[in-house]
Amino acid sequence: MDPNGTGQLYLLRDRRHRYWASGVWTGEMFTAIPEMKLNHLFDFSHVSNVNVNEFSYRVLNTSETDNLMLDFTGEMKRQKWDDEAKEMLQFCSLPWDPCDVDCRCGPFGSCNNFTSPPCHCLQGFNPRSPNEWALGDYTGGCVPRTPLRCGERDGFLELPNTQLPASPVRMSTIGGREECRIACLRNCSCTAYAFHSNCSIWQGDLVNLKYLGSSNGAESGAIYVRVDASELADNDHKNRKKTATIVVGALSGVAAIAVVVLLLALRYRKGATIAQSMIFSVSLSPIEEKKVDKWVSPNGRFKL
């Protein structure tokens, strides 16, 4: 609980860095957890005075086994025992957005709550600990696949629609994106830069990179991360290969359609030729012609 008496429940990293707040207590719920108002499973209690500041809950159905736990990812999860599955099943977790957990994906890891799993290494980076990564612990982050060589051989990977990391160094004297790029390139400790009305650079590990989709919030934009130029060349090659594959696929589709149309045309012509060859004439005597005229209408159809 907030020791300053605001009536909020905080989740902290290293007992210092707050990365989630419950909102203030209204007497029946925390404002950031409106679902508590519909609660019929727990009896909540919040006590705040000069001697104590605590929040507690009691399970109403004593026959149920229910708990709240804070796991290694930094998420607080509610679990309930399921008799059929014979295990604890998760019902909900806080924060709602796993990418709001501080350093969830570690250094040079990007979090995307539209994907599962939410964490992935930036292009040109690999997991620092593949084993932990495979187990779902991404806090170790990622390391460069190719060591950086400070100088002109370094390039910058563009990450659009990204929540910018905290604590940048503001370069107020720089007035353009290209100048900002050069300033970062010439500073060997600079790991990323961004230009949104002013130049910002970051030094050291990049943490809390979060993909925001099509969001255009004040804290989102494009950030350019320093990587070895060879990684960018590999990316260009992959993009060209992907484009070539798409073009070949499209041409193959057009060719297939053309073949089908040609076969149908040939089949139609063949059918027309057969029908034409089946037309024949019969010589009738004058009497027989009159008999036929009796049964044939002017439009050439038989009549009764």
Q: Is residue 76 part of a domain?
A: yes
Looking at per-residue pLDDT, the higher value among 261 and 231 belongs to 231
Nearest to 210 by CA among 296, 289, 95, 128: 95
Residue 175 identity: G
Instruction: Please give the model's pTM, rounded to 2 decimal places.
Output: 0.62
Position 130 scores a pLDDT of 96
Kindly indicate the confidence band of residue 248, based on its pLDDT and cuts at 50, 70 and 90. very low
Same domain, 178 and 252: no
Kindly indicate the confidence band of residue 74, based on its pLDDT and cuts at 50, 70 and 90. confident
* pLDDT per position as a tens digit, 128-166: 999 999 998 999 999 999 988 887 689 999 999 998 888
Q: Is residue 144 part of a domain?
A: yes
Q: Is residue 299 part of a domain?
A: no
Q: Is residue 101 part of a domain?
A: no
Same domain, 222 and 240: no
Neighbours of 119 (CB within 10 A): 24
Position 98 scores a pLDDT of 83
Q: Is residue 38 part of a domain?
A: yes
Say yes or no to pLDDT of 275 above 60. Answer: no
Same domain, 116 and 208: yes
Kindly indicate the confidence band of residue 269, based on its pLDDT and cuts at 50, 70 and 90. low
Q: Is residue 244 part of a domain?
A: yes
Same domain, 88 and 139: no
Say yes or no to pLDDT of 225 above 60. Answer: yes
Q: Is residue 89 part of a domain?
A: yes
Same domain, 136 and 72: no
Question: Which domain does 261 fall in, by range?
Answer: 234-278
Looking at per-residue pLDDT, the higher value among 134 and 271 belongs to 134
* pLDDT per position as a tens digit, 20-51: 888 888 777 888 887 777 777 788 888 888 78
Neighbours of 208 (CB within 10 A): 21
